[in-house]
């Protein structure tokens, strides 16, 4: 039995210098010389596999060639014409499993062109000037409501503005940006980059923001359909999967996404309480982000427990290595069995080892207990149909999320959707951006008919 002494949760475990170092830029940006040298490694492939692997189909060989000719701003325009959130995607996209994994140099020598870092170099160069390379189209008089100011909503709004439509972005939170603002690890987006990118996108004009306005509380889909010419839903996922154990609502057990949001908005990281012993349940990017960040906040022992083997883990090998470099332990093939309750506060968790039997996961009966001051659930989020405020009967769902066609149209006339809330979403920023772009083009076409 593990030590389950009284929980120890406290702020200010580190020095100011340690906080600054731990949450500094994960990947310091390339300088001009580094970018030119790296760009020179590209083969500029015909039918480049990296482009095929990019969900937004950025012309990667073209933008790298533009960098090589010392024209990073043109490179940025090439990137942003396909992915208006190219700056953030350069920071948070799992490029190691997308474009860089497809790179011919990866296949030939195990060292791909550093496409993500080159993308950041280009977009940072352009955004440093504060210039918006795109112009708003001639006003059409059409108005579109975008519900959700995350990557899908922002992408949709910007593309609609380029076509001359007026857009109102509604968001339930005080700031727009979605997971880029509230859900990405702080060391991946330092210096308030999420806000900088939002301001850059809005600078095209024609986009109005209504923050602190929630679907179902302040308006309904029905009212929006009467007041606007089209509606785009980019409302994300509002629920968190349950652990499936008794008493999981006790103090000290929390959703990882909620703690990450609190961390991202904290003006002083030293004031944020963190446990000395932290257990994270899950195997995706959120599990890695919460584990690494609590370790960087001063937690001494941080353990990720995942129910399957490493080959089934959603987080990439790069992300797992990052967490382990931070001092995080990863235990595989174990599932939560029982919480250890110490006076109404979590003091540990018992896990049961798992094994594959006839293609299904099953417990083996063998258990172990980890002491914990804090337990974080990072086992996925769920879509809440109630967010549609009564429209769930008319908007068709599939696999628990909104069903859309290839143009991101829902079953309800005049309503499109994209991002994590749709049935075929991959829960990636870059995929959400593509959804918003495709929906905007479909909306523009529909309004012109």
- For the chain, the structural domain boundaries read 9-23+240-380, 32-128, 143-237+383-448
- What is the C-alpha to C-alpha distance for residues 39 and 55, in angstroms, rounded to an integer? 21
Which pLDDT does position 96 carry in this prediction?
Answer: 92
| H runs (alpha helix) in 54-167 | 60-68, 72-82, 86-92, 99-102, 104-109, 115-128, 151-162
One of 3.30.465.10, 3.50.50.60, 3.40.228.10, 3.30.470.20 is the CATH number of 9-23+240-380, namely: 3.50.50.60
| H runs (alpha helix) in 164-255 | 179-182, 193-202, 221-227
Which pLDDT does position 170 carry in this prediction?
Answer: 98
Which pLDDT does position 1 carry in this prediction?
Answer: 47
Which pLDDT does position 423 carry in this prediction?
Answer: 84
Domain 143-237+383-448 -> CATH class:
alpha beta
Q: In degrees rounded to 5, what are phi and psi of residue 83? A: -140, 95
Q: What is the pLDDT of residues 201-222, one digit of tens each?
A: 999 999 999 999 999 889 999 9
The kind and range of the H/E element at 132 are: none
- What is the C-alpha to C-alpha distance for residues 301 and 277, in angstroms, rounded to an integer? 5
Which pLDDT does position 358 carry in this prediction?
Answer: 83
Closest CA to 176 of 156, 154, 193: 154
Which parts of the chain have pLDDT scores under 50? 1
The residues, any chain, with a CB within 8 Å of residue 112's CB and separated by 6 or more, are 100, 101, 103, 105, 106
Name the CA dihedral angle for 180, 185, 186, 188, rounded to a multiple of 10 degrees. Answer: -80
Q: What is the pLDDT of residues 256-314, one digit of tens each?
A: 999 999 999 999 999 999 999 999 999 999 999 999 999 999 999 999 999 999 999 99
The encoded tokens of residue 403 equal 């069903």
Which pLDDT does position 284 carry in this prediction?
Answer: 94
- What is the C-alpha to C-alpha distance for residues 249 and 203, in angstroms, rounded to an integer? 43
Q: What is the pLDDT of residues 71-84, one digit of tens each?
A: 999 999 999 999 99
Residues 91 and 190: beta-carbon distance below 8 Å: no
The encoded tokens of residue 332 equal 């595989």
9-23+240-380 shares its CATH topology with 32-128? no
According to CATH, the topology of domain 32-128 is Fumarate Reductase Iron-sulfur Protein; Chain B, domain 2 (1.10.1060)
The encoded tokens of residue 350 equal 């018992």
Going by the DSSP 8-state scheme, the letter that residue 17 receives in this structure is H
421: left (phi over 0), alpha (psi -120 to 50) or beta: alpha
- What is the C-alpha to C-alpha distance for residues 247 and 335, in angstroms, rounded to an integer? 16
| 263 burial type by CB count under 10 A (0-12 exposed, 13-18 middle, 19+ buried) | buried
């Amino acid at each position: 039995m593990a030590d389950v002494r009284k929980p120890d949760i406290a702020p200010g475990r580190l020095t100011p210098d340690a906080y600054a170092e731990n949450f500094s830029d994960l990947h310091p940006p390339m300088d001009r010389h580094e970018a030119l040298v790296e760009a020179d490694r590209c083969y500029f492939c015909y039918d480049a596999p990296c482009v095929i692997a990019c969900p937004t189909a950025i012309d990667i060989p073209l933008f790298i060639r533009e960098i090589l000719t010392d024209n990073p701003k043109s490179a940025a325009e090439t990137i942003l014409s396909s992915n208006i959130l190219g700056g953030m995607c350069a920071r948070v996209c799992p490029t190691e499993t997308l474009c860089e994994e497809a790179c011919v140099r990866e296949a030939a020598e195990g060292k791909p062109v550093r496409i993500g870092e080159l993308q950041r170099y280009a977009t940072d160069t352009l955004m440093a000037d504060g210039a918006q390379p795109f112009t708003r189209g001639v006003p059409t008089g059409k108005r579109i409501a975008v519900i959700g100011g995350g990557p899908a909503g922002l992408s949709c709004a910007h593309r609609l503005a380029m076509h001359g439509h007026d857009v109102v972005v509604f968001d339930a939170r005080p700031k727009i940006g979605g997971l880029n603002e509230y859900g990405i690890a702080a060391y991946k987006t330092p210096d308030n980059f999420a806000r900088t990118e939002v301001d850059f996108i809005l600078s095209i004009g024609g986009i109005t923001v209504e923050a602190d306005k929630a679907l179902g509380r302040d308006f309904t889909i029905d009212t929006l359909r009467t007041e606007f010419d089209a509606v785009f839903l980019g409302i994300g996922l509002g629920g968190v999967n349950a652990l499936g154990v008794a008493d999981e609502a006790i103090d000290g057990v929390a959703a990882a996404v909620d703690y990450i949001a609190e961390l991202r908005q904290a003006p002083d990281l030293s004031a944020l309480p963190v446990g000395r012993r932290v257990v994270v349940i899950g195997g995706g990017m959120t599990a890695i982000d919460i584990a690494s960040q609590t370790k960087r906040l001063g937690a001494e022992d941080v353990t990720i427990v995942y129910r399957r083997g490493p080959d089934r883990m959603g987080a990439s090998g790069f992300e797992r290595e990052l967490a382990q470099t931070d001092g995080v332990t990863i235990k595989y093939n174990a599932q939560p069995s029982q919480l250890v309750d110490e006076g109404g506060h979590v003091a540990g968790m018992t896990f049961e080892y798992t094994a594959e039997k006839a293609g299904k996961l099953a417990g083996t009966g063998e258990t172990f207990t980890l002491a914990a001051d804090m337990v974080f659930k990072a086992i996925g989020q769920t879509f809440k149909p109630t967010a549609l405020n009564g429209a769930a009967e008319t908007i068709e769902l599939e696999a628990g999320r909104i069903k859309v066609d290839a143009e991101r149209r829902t079953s309800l006339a005049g309503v499109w959707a994209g991002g994590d809330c749709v049935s075929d979403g991959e829960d990636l920023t870059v995929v959400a951006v593509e959804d918003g772009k495709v929906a905007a083009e479909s909306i523009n076409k529909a309004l012109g008919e």
